[in-house]
């Protein structure tokens, strides 16, 4: 009897989330896709079911809201989850004193609270079954402070630290945790960051979502703890370890200001 494998992907309607869903579908996973965009979810569901003969269950939910992780768990708790990909996220550009707090609090709740709680809720079943894989999406931003995107950088640093810590705790359980730290990736992220300001484009060292997702997927399947796609990104992640933090922060500020002008 063929074993049914199920994967849950947040932010699964587009960008990296869609690319992860595609990879999982190619590997015969049944899918639970969560996104705020119900129309795009339906498009993805129909595409994957038709092309890969799998079952795709979609849930429209804003995971930046309080208690959203617990509500989502109630909907899926009867289904054994073999793979969890915490992908949903967004950014916000501007000096902290002038940015919108409602957006920032939503970002903190999504990146920190929802990611942490959903991981905790699904871990129990994984450990009891003695198997499971978790992939948390952080960023190259996690390795240093980020002036003009302070909350985004800080929340991604949390995801990196949290993921590395629990990956260590879970050794010997059959459950692995991988944290993916990509650099700039060609998705709709920039439009969300700039809130409609199309001048905020970053063209340096930009990767395609499909390549980043493939790299992260392979790292997750191997049980690797940290995955940084691209030689340039690996070098950039290392620089803050040897540079004084004040200098690293100043460099990031200059890069952010330049990107705003592109």
- Could you list the pLDDT tens digit for every one of the 262 residues in the chain? 567 899 999 999 999 999 999 999 999 999 999 999 999 999 999 999 999 999 999 999 999 999 999 999 999 999 999 999 999 999 999 999 999 999 999 999 999 999 999 999 999 999 999 999 999 999 999 999 999 999 999 999 999 999 999 999 999 999 999 999 998 876 654 445 545 444 444 455 578 999 999 999 999 999 999 999 988 888 888 888 888 888 888 888 888 887 665 4
Closest CA relative to residue 148, chosen from 187, 103, 106, 97? 97
Domain segments of the chain as ranges:
6-261
Give the residues across from 135 on adjacent strands: 85, 178
Q: Residue 254 has which token pair? A: 């200059």
pLDDT score recorded for residue 197? 43
Q: Which residue is it, tokens 């995801």?
A: 159
**Sheet strands side by side (includes 132-137):** 56-60, 30-35, 6-10, 83-86, 132-137, 175-180, 226-227
pLDDT score recorded for residue 114? 98
pLDDT score recorded for residue 206? 74
Fold of domain 6-261 = Rossmann fold (3.40.50)
For residues 41 and 138, give the distance between their C-alpha atoms in angstroms, rounded to a whole number: 23
For residues 260 and 211, give the distance between their C-alpha atoms in angstroms, rounded to a whole number: 25
pLDDT score recorded for residue 254? 86
Q: Which residue is it, tokens 């370890």?
A: 241
Q: What is the dihedral of CA 129, 31, 20, 106, to 10 degrees?
A: -90
pLDDT score recorded for residue 238? 82
For residues 148 and 166, give the distance between their C-alpha atoms in angstroms, rounded to a whole number: 30
pLDDT score recorded for residue 261? 56
Q: Residue 155 has which token pair? A: 């929340």
pLDDT score recorded for residue 47? 98
């Amino acid at each position: 009897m063929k074993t049914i494998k199920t994967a849950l992907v947040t932010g699964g309607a587009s960008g990296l989330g869609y690319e992860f869903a595609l990879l999982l579908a190619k590997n015969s996973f049944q899918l639970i896709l969560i996104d705020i965009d119900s129309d795009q979810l339906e498009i993805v569901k129909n595409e994957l079911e038709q092309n890969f003969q799998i079952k795709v269950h979609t849930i429209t939910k804003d995971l930046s809201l309080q208690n959203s992780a617990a509500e989502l768990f109630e909907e899926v708790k009867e289904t054994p989850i073999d793979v969890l990909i915490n992908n949903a996220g967004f950014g916000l550009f501007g000096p902290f004193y002038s940015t919108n707090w409602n957006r920032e609090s939503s970002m903190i709740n999504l990146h920190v609270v929802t990611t942490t709680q959903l991981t905790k809720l699904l871990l129990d079943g994984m450990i009891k079954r003695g198997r499971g894989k978790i992939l948390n999406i952080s960023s190259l931003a996690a390795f240093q402070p980020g002036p003009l995107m302070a909350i985004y950088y800080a929340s991604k640093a949390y995801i990196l630290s949290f993921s590395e810590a629990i990956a260590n705790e879970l050794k010997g359980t059959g459950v692995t945790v991988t944290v993916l730290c990509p650099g700039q990736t060609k998705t709709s992220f920039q439009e969300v960051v700039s809130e409609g300001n199309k001048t905020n484009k970053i063209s340096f060292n930009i990767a395609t979502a499909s390549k980043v997702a493939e790299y992260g997927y392979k790292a997750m399947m191997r049980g690797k703890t940290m995955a940084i796609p691209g030689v340039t990104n690996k070098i950039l992640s290392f620089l803050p370890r040897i540079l004084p933090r004040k200098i690293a922060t100043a460099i990031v500020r200059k890069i952010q200001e330049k990107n705003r002008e592109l």
